[in-house]
Each structure stands twice: as structure tokens, then as C-alpha cells.
Copies of this chain bind each other. A is one copy, B any other.
Amino acid sequence: MANGKPRIVIVGGGFGGIKLAKLFAKENVDVTIVDRHNFHLFQPLLYQVSTSVLSTDEIAYPIRAFFRDNKNVELFMAKAQGVDQARNVLLTNHGEVPYDYLILAAGATTNFFGMKSVEQHSYGMKTIQEALTIRNHVLHEFERASKPNEVTPAERKKILTFVVVGGGPTGIEEAGAISELIEIQKKEFHNLDFNDVSVTLIEATGHVLPMMTEDLQEETVRVLKNKGVNVMLNTQVVDYDGDILKLKSGAEIPTKTVIWAAGVRAVDFIGKCGGECIRDGRIKVDENLMVTGAVNRNVFAIGDCACFMHGDMKRPLPTVAPVATQQAALAHKNIMKLIKGQTDLGNFVYKDLGAMATIGRGKAVVNKPKMTGFMAWCAWMFVHLLRLAGAHANFTVAIKWSWNLFSGTRLGRLITSIKLD
């Protein structure tokens, strides 16, 4: 409390971190957001950047722009590296940041479940840079394939085989969006044989979209298959060397493109915060969202990086935005109580708002209330537009989606950073 005001430090400018900072902005406290990036990323639409629908600045919003009128909120652009709870300081690659109250809202990263070969050769999709890398790579494979003497027929088939691993919302949406991208490419690659092009979705369990009911899961698979996606359920990946994707069954898929959307884990930093972590790296919090065993009772965790045991089954909550924002609201309340010297902290109760996923242009599934097809897609579009940061993005994204729906084209098909050797 350098100037008398409590110093609130928030690690991460995602859904939870921004919500929290907005709540604290109105209090008599100083807020520092620590993030590797200077922008908030609307991760649920990252797949649309990777498939040439949206551009980066439509799903990313400068963190400082949220707090233009809040002089008590600052961004400290740095990589968080650990917490020294005894000294109340956050450690970063740009030095120490002292705090009175710390909230870990650092989010999640791709989980390759220890498969080093897969991690090395497949494409994750958690950052802008990763989404752009996928976009550039996929588009470039089409250009390579279109050159008459560039590749052998076998190689051509391999570079036009696109595999998405993981049957959650991200994997479903990515596979659907790639199959539609192919339809657009078909119109413009006049000399390419599109029999060589394929999209495969691989899921380890027996169903896609685990949070949905069985009929919605089946509807999703049906729609994907109609789009030409080769859906492989009960299929496990064991190895990928950049050329051959090996399955547990012994089958092999020659491909240059494996997009890994099969799981998430907390970022490594979370393991260095002095708390207790579960297998996927999430840090355990108590019912007040305080990190279990916090030395000075002033370290909280919310969102994808926090492990809050939920329900009768005592399972961790899903890694979705509504969990993070609901937890942000409680963390703010509890910290304000501590600041005021009150001890009756509130307990977290999760309110499930339902789940939704698009399966491409004009089609989606929603489980609360249960909807499919075009109506579900409209609901999906409405909810996502509402939550996008910045009215400007709402405008341009709405225009692009409508354009996309009616004209069936994607103007983001730009290869911006492939090495041209």
C-alpha cells in the first residue's frame, strides 16, 4: 500500500482478468494487469482467424483501451514467472511486481498429454500467432499443391489432408470451418483435383461435444459428415513425426497438417505460485476462490487456471469464459471484504449458462435452450457479437459474417509469413 491504496495485481487479461479489473477500477485501489500481450483475446473465435474468416484485430482488443477512463488501472506487459508469497511479490521477466492482493487469471495452454512428437509437429490453437500460423500453412499447402511439377501425386494427397484432433467445441468448429474453406478454394483453384483434399476429425472418446446431450452430439456428427468431414470417434493418436500420424489401432494417416485441439492445461507459471496443482496444472482453490494454503490469505485464482471442485462428483469446472467471469465477480467481492477487514467471504456457486458450438456457416448446436441449425447459429452469432470487445468490432464482424453467409467467400485468405525459399 505504497500510497495508501491497496495494490491489486491481476495476472492475465482474459475474460476473467478483464472482468475483475473492470470491477476493481471503480474501487479505491490501484490495479495492475500483468499480461504477455497488450491485448485481450476473444479466444472462442480464434478458429475463425485460423480459417481466414476474421482478422486479428477483430478478436483482439487493446487491454489499455478498456481502462482509458480508469487512471487507477495500468497494464504491465510481461511474462509472469512465479510468486513469492512470503514477500507478496509477483516475479516476471521484467522484474518484481509487489501486491497486496494477487489474482491468478492466467488461463490455459494446449495439452499434448506428454506426447513430445505431437507437440513438436502439430499446430496448437491458443494464441493469435498460432492461429495465423495455421492460416498461413493451410493456404500455402494449396498453393504448393497447385503447382504442376512441385510435388508427386502421393505428396499432393498428403499436403491436402487436414487433420483436426479433439471433438470439443474448438475441434468441431475448426473442422467445420476448414471444410467450408475448401469449398471456397474449389472455386478458385481451377487446375487442382479436389478429390485429393480431405478433412478428418479425430476424437478419442465415443462422442463429440461432451457437454451436450446425446442427440445434439449425433446431430453435430451428422452435419460434419454432410460437410465432407471424415469423423473418427474412439480413435487415439499415439505419434506424429510431421509426415505420418500414427493411431493406437496401428493405422497411419499421411499428413502435413495436424491441428491439436484435444485438451488444455494450465500455463507453466501456475506451478510456480506456491499452491497445490492437479494433474492438468490447475491450481487448487477453496470455496472462496483463495489458493489453497495461501500464506498471507491474499492470493486467489479464477478461470481456466483454477481448480474449483464442483458438484456432487467434485469435478473441476469446464474451462469456459462464463466460469471465469462468474469467479471474477466473487473474487472481487471477497477481496473487497478482506480490504474492509470483513471475514465472511462468499462461496462460489457455478451457474451453468449452457454451451454452444458452430459447425460452420449457418449451422450450430446450443444446449440451453436446445436448438440446432440456423436458429442455433443466429443465437450463437448474437451471443458472440454481444460479448466481443469494442462496438467497432461488432460492426465489422457482423458484416463479415453476413458477407460470408451470403457470398460464401473469405477475404482473409492471405499468406503473410511463409518463408519463400
User: A residues near B, CB below 8 A?
Assistant: 36-39, 55-58, 60-62, 64-65, 67-68, 71, 73-79, 93-95, 128-129, 132, 139, 143, 146-147, 149-150, 187-191, 390, 392-393, 395-396, 399-400, 403, 409, 411-417, 420-421
Contact = CB atoms under 8 A, between A and B. Distances in A.
From A58, A73, A143, A149, residue with most partner B Cβ within 10 Å: A143
Contacts of A414: 37-39, 56-57, 60, 62, 128
Nearest to A407: B392
A61 B415 contact: no
Query: Nearest 9 A-B pairs (CB), nearest first?
Result: A64-B188, A55-B55, A396-B396, A77-B143, A55-B57, A57-B412, A62-B413, A71-B190, A39-B414
Contacts of A76: 147
Contacts of A420: 36, 78-79, 93
A417 B79 contact: no
A391 to B, nearest CB: 8
Contacts of A150: 94-95
A38 B396 contact: no
A109 to B, nearest CB: 15
Contacts of A56: 55-56, 414, 416
Contacts of A64: 188-189
B79 A421 contact: yes
A62 B392 CA distance: 24
A129 B417 contact: yes
A44 to B, nearest CB: 18
Nearest to A96: B149
Contacts of A65: 188, 409, 411, 413
Contacts of A95: 147, 149-150
A267 to B, nearest CB: 13
A147 B94 contact: yes
A395 B403 CA distance: 11
A137 to B, nearest CB: 13
Nearest to A395: B399
Nearest to A189: B64
A129 B136 CA distance: 13
A57 B397 CA distance: 13
A32 B55 CA distance: 28
Contacts of A61: 411
A390 B411 contact: yes
Contacts of A67: 188
Contacts of A416: 56, 60, 128-129, 132
Give the most central of A37, A146, A149, A392: most B CB within 10 Å.
A392
A364 to B, nearest CB: 22
A390 to B, nearest CB: 5
A71 B188 CA distance: 8
B421 A393 contact: no
Contacts of A421: 79, 93
Contacts of A147: 76-78, 94-95
Contacts of A75: 143, 146
A209 B178 CA distance: 47
Contacts of A395: 396, 399
Contacts of A409: 65
23 contacts: A36-B420, A38-B143, A39-B413, A55-B57, A56-B56, A57-B411, A57-B412, A62-B413, A64-B188, A65-B188, A65-B413, A71-B190, A74-B146, A74-B190, A77-B147, A79-B421, A128-B414, A128-B416, A129-B416, A392-B400, A395-B396, A395-B399, A399-B399
